[in-house]
Chains A and B, each alone.
Chain A
């Protein structure tokens, strides 16, 4: 059961029209490709994807699951939005509540074990190894954890376990953590225990795994274990960490290697033609998606499929997503430009000093200029750092041809 209904509000305009799991990553993928590919690579061929927030992109991306070989006669992928029932109709109000509302879906398959995942992280993980561990321990619940530096542990839900990996206690974002094992939000439940706890807590408002189900089962004395994961796992929940995780991919030998044959990541990508690098182009330290056309210069950047960089443009330290068109002689520094955005000629982005964002200083930080999908940016304007743009903007939106650092233009709902 893959929880993919969250907005991921800390990604700002990147998630104004798409759910976080559908945000592009690494020049080709969407975040949800990682857990979905992990599923099929681990031999899990029945996956329910729970959607709620802005599901359109997610739905069309998943389709019937062909790219992940999840188009099955029996099982396969099912998209599970909230639905109206005869007596109630409610949105998914918490992670466990969402799973509870889909008890029937799970019962159809009469499972022995249920794996709960979120669509928020970049990692390659063999869930089957975790399941083997779960079985060998005779556990009711196994929680995947990753060791983090102890000084950062207070940002996570921390699990305290004994030497047998048996869980002793939990702490949610503790000030003085007693362990460095952070919960990854990945759980394996023995079906009976999951069903019993979901039914027992069905009236709990905003029922959540970390806050309600796990403590409930712990109090009951159910056997619970931690499964330690010791490989690349990246939370891309903030614009800064999202940008960083993309930039790590352009290292000479990235820690997270997409180029190995083993454990392939699958995605739904209709653009298959090769990319064209023109005589006027210069591409260095970058990854570039299929079908891109590069006439300008690209340094230290991640470019999606079908991107066009016109002659004379210079792109540095940026993430340019699928279908973006960067006009002639643009200068793009440290920007994130979401899908199908058009940037006019001679426009400069990511210029000047980084001032605090007037929209939301905790989201639009890191010195990034961020543009939401399907936006338009006119020619000959200069855009500062910590800025946010969304929608069809025109020259009138840029007094003196400028969007100063920390400013924003959000024109939602005016799309033609």
Chain B
């Protein structure tokens, strides 16, 4: 592959509420066995991108724990590798990452030292499968300066949280509006860009000189008439984790057969850190229907339309309905929990009830099961 990968995984979003109190969005658990960033990492490794830099800032430790070895995604090679870059203080810089473009600019030495002619920039908070080779081929065929991967949103989706793109018949981007109140098209930027490494370096240096730090507004939108920006429309499932509802929905989407088939069974696969957990255990009294259950779970009662992450425990005579139960959550006996996201390592004491009345409720803050180190988030 003639490109290196840059994953923007710096961010938090207040609309994630307290789900991101202890982790970055890119480290959010998805689909029973994965973290958000696994999808882009797997896409990159499956596209034979060998060198990947993850730029992280907000709660970088959570991500760092997940990326503690590059071998899960096959990046542990003599050529290339997986790098996690957080802001560092140097003689000529003591800033945090002031924006997406600034984050890359602060690591411009890394870009300069590499030899790959192209760069694939992608965010770490999307769930999708994409062969970046196809995007690169398109980029070369169109003689584009920057190719923006786009996704067509289903009707009725709220477009105001995306970058909305309008293309001409050739695919060239004519308009690019960031989070418009009134959108002119239903095609949005998926936050994935292909650009020549040299061109990126020039653009970033130019931007930095002018004190501009945002990749979308200061590079894409500002240069869209000067440079050849093309849109590559990706097919199939794509979702962006930006708030509690989209997080809940993205997980629930995995209860759909087409989504499971795409991510679980179609080659190439999605990889993640392995945890060496025993198989899930269903004891007498377990009634599990239409649910995903990860390794290490122990279930004693009813679970419906839910996604259970690793090592979740459900006690006797409890009902778990329409829920996302994160890693290591403990649900005691006679608990009723419905329409909730239960935080990792949470304890739902026996006899308690948690119901999301209007919308999804986040259950967090109850850790008094035992005095033990909580472990990874």
Question: Using a CB–CB distance below 8 Å, which chain A residues touch chain B?
Answer: 26-28, 66-67, 250, 252, 258-259, 264-267, 269, 272-291, 298, 302-305
Contacts and interface: CB of A to CB of B under 8 A. Distances in A.
Interface in B266-288: 270-272, 274, 276, 278-288
Please classify the interface of chain B as helix (H, G, I), strand (E, B), loop, or mixed, using the class held by over half of its residues.
loop
A120 B291 CA distance: 36
17 contacts: A27-B279, A258-B278, A259-B281, A265-B276, A274-B294, A277-B288, A277-B291, A278-B290, A279-B290, A280-B289, A283-B286, A284-B283, A284-B287, A285-B284, A286-B282, A287-B278, A287-B280
A275 B291 CA distance: 8
A272 B285 contact: no
- 10 A-B pairs closest in CB distance: A274-B32, A258-B278, A27-B279, A274-B294, A274-B292, A273-B264, A277-B288, A287-B279, A279-B290, A289-B279
A26 B290 contact: no
A71 to B, nearest CB: 9
A290 B278 CA distance: 9
Nearest to B298: A259
B147 interface: no
A266, A285, A304 pick with most chain B CB within 10 angstroms: A285
B307 interface: yes
A168 B135 CA distance: 75
A250 to B, nearest CB: 7
A266 B274 CA distance: 10
B123 to A, nearest CB: 23
Given A267-B276, A272-B271, A288 B282 contact: yes
B293 interface: yes
Contacts of B290: 277-279
Please classify the interface of chain A as helix (H, G, I), strand (E, B), loop, or mixed, using the class held by over half of its residues.
loop
B87 interface: no
A284 B281 contact: no
Given A264-B276, A279-B290, A284-B286, A273 B33 contact: yes
B281 A277 contact: no
B33 to A, nearest CB: 5
B278 A259 contact: yes
B71 interface: yes
Contacts of B291: 276-277
A283 B71 contact: no
Given A26-B278, A266-B276, A286-B282, A259 B31 contact: no
A269 to B, nearest CB: 7
Contacts of A265: 276, 278
B308 A274 contact: yes
A277 B289 contact: yes
Nearest to A300: B284
B33 A259 contact: no
A160 B290 CA distance: 57
B260, B264, B284, B294 pick with most chain A CB within 10 angstroms: B264
B372 to A, nearest CB: 10
Interface string B312-345: 0000000000000000000000000000000000
B280 A275 contact: yes
B270, B283, B295, B298 pick with most chain A CB within 10 angstroms: B295
Nearest to A282: B287
Contact of A66 (B71, B282, B287): B71
B263 interface: yes
A278 B271 CA distance: 24
Contacts of B71: 66
A28 B279 contact: yes
Interface string B290-314: 1111111010000000011100000
